Chain A
Amino acid sequence: MKIRAQMGMVMNLDKCIGCHTCSVTCKNVWTNRRGAEYMWFNNVETKPGRGYPVDYEDQEKWNGGWEVDRKGKLKLKAGGPLSKLANIFSNPDLPELDDYYDPWTYDYDKLISAPAGKDQPVARPKSQVTGKDLDLQWGPNWEDDLAGSAEHAIHDPNFKNIQEGVKQEFEETFMMYLPRICEHCINPSCVASCPSGAMYKREEDGIVLVDQDACRSWRFCVSGCPYKKVYFNWNTGKAEKCNFCFPRIEAGMPTICSETCVGRLRHLGVVLIDTDRVEAAASVENEQELLDAQLDLMLDPDDPEVRAQALKDGIPSDWIDAASASPVYAMAKKWRIALPLHPEYRTLPMVWYVPPLSPMESVGSDLIREGGDAENIFAAIDQMRIPMDYLANILAAGDVEPVRRSLTRLVAMRRYMRDVNLGNEVRPEIATDAGMEPHELVDMFRMVAIGDYDDRYVIPKRHGEVSPNAFAEQGSCGIDFENGAAVPGLADQTGVNAPDPYGGALAAARDNVAPTTGALAEEKVDPDFDVRNLLSHHGGPEERHA
């Protein structure tokens, strides 16, 4: 057993309102530069839809990720090192710019500089690559909120093997949002695809980065990533990707996409991974067993043996405490409500998703108010508008069971807490029928429904004393772009970065509500914990019925 800490994220799709705030803040921080205009380290897709880049989920077309060969050996789907070296003059699987979109701006100046005339002046779209006029045919979120779905959504690769077929009738349409960042996989195929060895996982937190100094523009990482979350900067000739906002993470702050999420649907935490068994877990023959294999890698941070080994492997004790308070571990493994995106790519992704509930198809039924017995919940789940098969194709390699379990528990939590909230008699069987303990449902409620800042983000700070020489990393940690990352104004003419624009105030402000580690875990099993106390704080039954 060799334990490493791994940062992870859970996104609760039930809360996503598709506002794109995460995308915008991310873009303003990281990809607001020449050569990076088309990149969205974070993007939000409407599902069903073709996604960004187009049809990226269709690995028959793009050959991303891994597969197991006949002998059960894990190999890159696009071919191993020798095949890559043979294709080094042209990468056959590389998307072109038009598969993403030609980034554009508008010549706004026309609006005020145009001479007086009969007609209103018009700001025309101009390509940010060539500066020429564009005839817009496709763009970021072109299919937002099912726009043009008759044309596009039917091509969604996740409809394969769905018996019900594509629901094109207006009354039967369904949709959901899928925010996506780099998965910071435990078994990243981009890293394995890089001929130069420029991509790596950080030992300390598993964040996947591109060494800008070692990248030689072979582009196999771009095609090797099945999520297409490594991008090629056509200006610098280097690969770039989401870096999990590691400068913020190291300071104990959440990523910018999480921090600014309006729906507060993102959760960040550390899990302890047994890295000795990664290859075996990714090589499990049956795709639908990959989820369990991955969960098996995520060790119980409250197990004394695991803690001892983790300390031995050099993981600081406050990180281990953080792992036991980790929302990612809780949602993915303890409660099993979060699922990985396309586990069948065998990359063991570390951004997990709680599947969304959706309205009932039949009029008059209600997920939450129906009686509380399990059969009823199962019947209700099956009537939801988003087909379970469809969710299963996205989050569980086509296996509906994990999706059903997750949705069942979400509904059970609502029913259970409704009784608590209304002062009805509490029915523990709602929990047990869903395979959970009542106190677990309450913990879950605290995490997903209330979601206090410190519960959502449990981020241990970087240990500077362990790796003191940050200067040695210059150029190799993924944020040394041509003119520095984003906000060109922050770098002065001499190339020396301006002082911290916040003057340290941000870090100080954050420290006052600093994420805490360790104590939360104990509180979770506190038998005296009364959810009514919690609720009264948020306007609970006492106040309401007063």
Chain B
Amino acid sequence: MTATAAISGPVILYVILPYVALSIGIGGLIWRRKTDQFGWTARSTELLEGKVLRYASIVFHLGVLAAIGGHVMGILIPQSFTDAVGLSEHNYHLIAVFGGISAGLAVIVGFVALMYRRIKFPRVRVTTTRMDVAVFILLGIGIVTGMLATVLNIGDAVNYRESVAPYFRQIFILDPDPSLMTGGGVMLIFQIHVIAVWFLYALWPFSRLIHAFTFPINYPRRSPIIYRPRNPRSTRGKKYGSGTPDYAPSISPESSDESPRVPEKVN
């Protein structure tokens, strides 16, 4: 981009919006991590309703993980790489369409079931905040447009790996070209999908979605029983019941100034 470029619609949507969203998103995550550990939770409602959740949550989350994997393959990994490892465009597209549709179906089924549950069960409904509603709407738009983009592109009309994907990668090298998104061939549905997700990223740190940045990676390695001294330090350690380094008091324990009191003899 040159300095003389006009602030046009595409520039706002595909250049300014991403950076604003990412700044808010990443800055917000850091801010919240530093200031609100107490609020850092998935706000689970399994206590209030568990039967529908069991299936809906698993289907939804596995679908989301698969969809994220699909995006990594399609957007982050350049076409030149898949070409180099011998994956033809046709075969890539087959994987993308079948994988994308099945992951998308799982996400949609899970999402609809979770929304049904949230509306149907009053106990779950009362825990819903306004931020939750905003996130659900943006997620819903993202999911529906993502699915539609996959389905409408079965014929491979849009090779997003030559337009959307390079644009997305350019964001990280601080040189995005908005014309890649608006240029011929990128369907409106792709554009809505991308824009909705930028908004979602901006809301991310302020919503329940922060739980996605919590994975107890240390759990399998740590000691089962954790001891903590009054001044908490590390909680790592392998030995059973040795969650912290041994703790030596800074002064001799014998120098306690509390002399034991002798009870009065009962007589």
By a beta-carbon cutoff of 8 Å, the part of chain A in contact with chain B is: 2, 4, 80-82, 84-85, 89-92, 94-97, 129-132, 187-188, 191-192, 195-197, 199-204, 211-219, 222, 232, 234-238, 275, 278-279, 311, 314-319, 321, 452, 454, 461, 463, 465-467, 469-470, 472-473, 475-476, 480, 482, 514, 516-520, 523, 533-534, 537
By a beta-carbon cutoff of 8 Å, the part of chain B in contact with chain A is: 37-38, 40-50, 53-54, 57-58, 61-62, 122-123, 125-127, 211, 214, 216, 218-220, 222, 224-232, 235, 240-241, 243-244, 246-251, 253-254, 256, 258, 260-263, 266-267
Instruction: Give 25 pairs: A residue, B residue, CB < 8 Å, sorted on A.
Output: A4-B227, A89-B62, A97-B48, A97-B123, A130-B126, A197-B222, A200-B235, A200-B243, A202-B227, A202-B229, A203-B228, A217-B42, A218-B42, A278-B241, A452-B266, A461-B258, A463-B249, A466-B249, A467-B230, A472-B232, A476-B232, A514-B261, A516-B262, A519-B261, A533-B267
Residue B227 contacts which of A82, A201, A517, A537 (CB distance < 8 angstroms)?
A201
List of B residues within 8 angstroms of A200 by Cβ: 226-228, 235, 243
CB of A435, distance to nearest CB on chain B (Å): 28
Taking a contact as CB atoms under 8 Å apart, the answer to whether A537 and B267 are in contact is: yes
List of B residues within 8 angstroms of A275 by Cβ: 227, 241
List of B residues within 8 angstroms of A318 by Cβ: 256, 258, 260
Residue A279 contacts which of B240, B244, B258 (CB distance < 8 angstroms)?
B240
List of A residues within 8 angstroms of B41 by Cβ: 215-217, 236-238
CB of A351, distance to nearest CB on chain B (Å): 18
Inter-chain CA distance A472–B232, complex, in Å, is: 8
Taking a contact as CB atoms under 8 Å apart, the answer to whether A463 and B256 are in contact is: yes
Taking a contact as CB atoms under 8 Å apart, the answer to whether B54 and A130 are in contact is: no
Residue B46 contacts which of A84, A219, A454 (CB distance < 8 angstroms)?
A219
CB of B205, distance to nearest CB on chain A (Å): 15
Inter-chain CA distance A82–B225, complex, in Å, is: 16
CB of A375, distance to nearest CB on chain B (Å): 36
Taking a contact as CB atoms under 8 Å apart, the answer to whether B225 and A321 are in contact is: no
The DSSP consensus for interface residues of chain A is: loop
CB of A392, distance to nearest CB on chain B (Å): 28
Taking a contact as CB atoms under 8 Å apart, the answer to whether B216 and A216 are in contact is: yes
Taking a contact as CB atoms under 8 Å apart, the answer to whether A90 and B218 are in contact is: no
Taking a contact as CB atoms under 8 Å apart, the answer to whether B46 and A317 are in contact is: no
Taking a contact as CB atoms under 8 Å apart, the answer to whether B57 and A234 are in contact is: no
A90 in contact with B57 given A199-B226, A238-B41, A275-B241 (CB within 8 Å): yes
List of A residues within 8 angstroms of B224 by Cβ: 191-192
Taking a contact as CB atoms under 8 Å apart, the answer to whether A96 and B231 are in contact is: no
A317 in contact with B253 given A130-B122, A217-B43, A516-B262 (CB within 8 Å): yes
